[in-house]
């Protein structure tokens, strides 16, 4: 059972995800508390910054893809846009509707989308046998 997760890239995805989560939380806090930027604007800036880092980690370290990088990056940006809008919506909902502290809201949202993204990435985006890359 454990080898199924380690062989799937889940451990690498988790470690890199934890690093990017820490980066996201620290930089969001810094931009919000030190530079007095509205927390949601801080979060958006950080998510955009983390996008390139995440893609590089996914292609080079986590899933170790070797081809179709342009097409994969296009699908990555497209799908990530959907994930990020949903992530931002959830963080805002948790903060402004449920009155959860913005840092806790961001943490909760990131964990939920972390799991959803791994499943999507493993099944479709970084899988050469997925419907995205058949016959291309």
Cα distances from 110 to residues 15, 34, 58, 121, in angstroms, run 14, 22, 17, 16
Exposed, middle or buried: residue 48 (CB in 10 Å: 0-12, 13-18, 19+)?
exposed
pLDDT tens digits along 5-45: 556 789 999 999 899 889 989 999 999 999 999 999 998 99
How far apart (Å, rounded) are the C-alpha atoms in residues 131 and 69? Answer: 16
Contacts of 88 by beta carbon, 8 Å cutoff, 6+ apart:
40, 43, 44, 47
Mean pLDDT of 58-66: 88
pLDDT tens digits along 70-122: 889 999 999 989 998 999 999 999 999 999 999 999 999 989 998 999 999 99
What are the extents of the domains in the chain?
2-125
Q: Look at residue 65 in the predicted model and tell me its pLDDT.
A: 86
């Amino acid at each position: 059972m454990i080898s199924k997760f380690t062989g799937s890239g889940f451990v690498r995805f988790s470690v890199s995800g934890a690093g990017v989560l820490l980066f996201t939380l620290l930089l969001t806090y810094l931009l919000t508390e030190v530079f007095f930027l509205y927390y949601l604007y801080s979060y958006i800036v950080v998510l955009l910054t983390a996008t390139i880092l995440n893609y590089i980690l996914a292609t080079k370290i986590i899933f170790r893809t070797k081809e179709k990088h342009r097409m994969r990056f296009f699908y990555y940006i497209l799908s990530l846009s959907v994930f990020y809008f949903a992530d931002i919506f959830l963080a805002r909902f948790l903060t402004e509707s449920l009155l959860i502290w913005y840092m806790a809201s961001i943490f909760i949202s990131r964990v939920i989308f972390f799991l959803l993204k791994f499943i999507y990435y493993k099944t479709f985006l970084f899988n050469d046998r997925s419907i995205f890359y058949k016959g291309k």
